[in-house]
Amino acid sequence: MLGGETYRIFLSMEGLSLAGSSLLTLIDDIATLLDDVSVMTKVAAKKTAGVLGDDLALNAQQVTGIAADRELPVVWAVAKGSLLNKCILIPAALLISTFVPWLVTILLMLGGAFLCFEGAEKLAHKFLHKKDVEKEHEARQQALADETVDMRAFERERIKGAIRTDFILSAEIIVIALGTVTSAALSQQIAVLVAIGLLITIGVYGLVAGLVKIDDLGRYLIGKDGSLNQSIGRVLLKGAPLLMKGLSFFGTLAMFLVGGGILVHGVPVLHHMVEGLADADIAIPSVDAIVHGLVPMLANGVIGLIVGGVLVAVVTAVQRLRGKEAH
């Protein structure tokens, strides 16, 4: 079973914290995907406009209906992929922890490094290639507006990307959960991992489904009688895009905090260094408590950012050596 050091690494990470971070991390992929879906729904509405007639109310209702029909299936598709990920990961985690327990820590560290890389890549793509990002976004919107584009095929590719992100995060959660029940019987381990897998999937994607329906709730309230309902509806409509962007920001931040935290707890030198910083004595008690809470978090984030930046630089250099354009 798991070694003592590995066990301490697992217990030092909070499973619920990682689950919450997984939600934020997945938001960015799903938000981008749904942005593309919104363009696709407009294309679909345009194709059926001749059938719908000139009734503006009917057209608006149909467009809203199409949008609703596309949003939840997208989330459901990613959720099904997440369940499949866990069907693969749970047996694999049990086998590895039983026969090659030393490999668990290595896999956990690789997963943390990957999260840091993903976060740094997002930042590099956004700030170092800003014009390319804008051109890419415009090109994607134009392509999606093309009536000849295979919308389902494009959507499937975006869903696959979100499922890949989920795979890494699910692996981290499953391994951490396994570390808390290593002394239990195999049947109990299986029961706990299955329960955790189901709860995390239902909780995360249930919340995502609720988030993407905020705009529909806003439209519903605007159509109701009463100035209060209409005011709330307008606030929801205007606030939904800002909320998604905000969650996208915190999702990227979560990559560094979670990934860096895993690396810090897995490397004794880093772990002791961060503990030393957090244990520094501060004369003012209230400030001392804040420092003890914030220092480990900030250290995890900084280390995650550094590791991610180094990995992006290495990958970019390798791609250039191979004659490929860095993404």
Q: Where are the domains of the chain?
A: 4-251
Identify the three-state secondary structure at position 229. Answer: helix
Q: Where are the alpha helices (DSSP H) in 223-327?
A: 227-266, 268-278, 285-321
Nearest residue to 260 (alpha-carbon basis) of 313, 308, 292, 295 = 308
Q: What is the pLDDT of residue 133?
A: 61
Residue whose entry in the numeric block shows the structure tokens 């590099």: 124
Q: What is the pLDDT of residue 327?
A: 52
Rg, C-alpha atoms of the chain: 23
Report CA-CA distances (Å) from 271 to 75, 76, 262, 300. 37, 39, 10, 10
Q: What is the pLDDT of residue 92?
A: 92
Q: What is the pLDDT of residue 292?
A: 74
Q: What is the pLDDT of residue 274?
A: 82
pTM of the model: 0.68
- Rounded to whole angstroms, the Cα distance separating 61 from 20 reads 35
Q: What is the pLDDT of residue 45?
A: 39
DSSP state of 326: P
**pLDDT tens digit at each of 327 positions of the chain:** 444 444 444 444 445 455 555 555 665 565 555 555 454 444 433 433 333 333 333 322 322 333 455 677 878 888 899 899 999 999 998 998 888 888 877 887 887 888 889 889 888 888 877 676 666 666 666 665 666 666 677 677 777 877 887 887 788 778 777 766 777 788 888 888 888 888 878 887 887 778 777 877 888 888 888 888 888 888 888 887 777 777 777 778 888 887 888 888 888 888 888 887 777 666 566 666 677 778 888 898 999 999 999 999 999 899 888 875 545
